[in-house]
Amino acid sequence: MNYWFLLIPLLTAFTGWLTLRIALLFLFRPLKPRKILGFTLQGILPGKQRQIAIEAGQIAAAEFSTFADLEQKISDPKNMEKIKPLIETHIDDFLRIKLKEQMPMISMFIGDKTINTLKTVFMEEIENLFPQVMQQFAGGLKPDLDIERMVTLKVSNISPEKLESLMHQSLAKEFHFASVACAAIGLVIGLLQLAIILLTD
């Protein structure tokens, strides 16, 4: 038996590992277009970044296409309940302190009972106005809220270097597993080749 044949599984395992590493490299490199022998080369993701950005913007816009849902959530009375304690505190502070500071004479006519009555009236009015005000706010926001354009610009403006770094950080385990898997597949192929050679020798 020629012992050099034993190198076959090692070489095929290395070839499988190297092939994947090269494929992953071409996902990002070169970061900027480069002309080599008349051909323009650029990494797949940097080269397709603009197209990816446009498609991401379209998907985001489609997901948020029902602006009525956003208006409904903004004007939901439950939101008023969340901020109600804060509003009550400010109204109480206004009636008990600031109003008397600005108009000292009025303190002669406003006692706790009057303050509580005024506070109740103000809170009722605010609760009635809240849904209308928030709906108008959401309606005014709609023309300026171009979600598709915002997402497209954000994704387009990510630098290729940052995109590569983010991908490597978030997919480091997957890249490692894929490299090991390709090496294992190469090893199995090499062992099969070695078996065929030995059987036919």
Burial class (CB in 10 A: 0-12, 13-18, 19+), 92: middle
Query: Angle, to 10 degrees, between the axis of helix 67-74 and the axis of helix 112-141?
Result: 170
Give the span between the Cα atoms of 152 and 44, in whole angstroms: 18
pLDDT, position 96 = 79
pLDDT tens-place string over residues 31-47: 787 887 877 777 888 88
Could you tell me the two tokens for 21?
A: 């590493």
pLDDT confidence tier of residue 15, bands split at 50, 70 and 90: very high
DSSP 5: G
Q: Render 94-150 in DSSP notation, one character per residue.
A: IIIIIHHHH-GGGGGT--HHHHHHHHHHHHHHHHHHHHHHHHHHHHHHGGG--HHHH
**Residue 184: pLDDT above 90?**
yes
Could you tell me the two tokens for 86?
A: 């804060």
pLDDT, position 14 = 92
Q: For the chain, what are the domain ranges?
A: 3-200
The one-letter code for the residue type at 193 is: Q
Q: Percentage of the chain with pLDDT > 90?
A: 8
pLDDT tens-place string over residues 128-167: 877 777 766 666 666 666 777 778 888 888 787 887 788 7
| Lowest-pLDDT choice from 58-62, 88-92, 125-129, 165-169 | 58-62
C-alpha torsion sign, points 94, 98, 103, 109: positive
- Per DSSP, what are the bridge partners of residue 41? 34
Rg (C-alpha) for the chain, rounded Å, is 34
CB 186 within 8 A of CB 14: yes
Give the span between the Cα atoms of 74 and 140, in whole angstroms: 13
pLDDT, position 159 = 80
3-state secondary structure 45-80: HHHCHHHHHHHHHHHHHHHCCCHHHHHHHHCCHHHH
pLDDT tens-place string over residues 91-137: 888 877 877 777 777 766 777 788 788 888 888 888 787 777 776 66
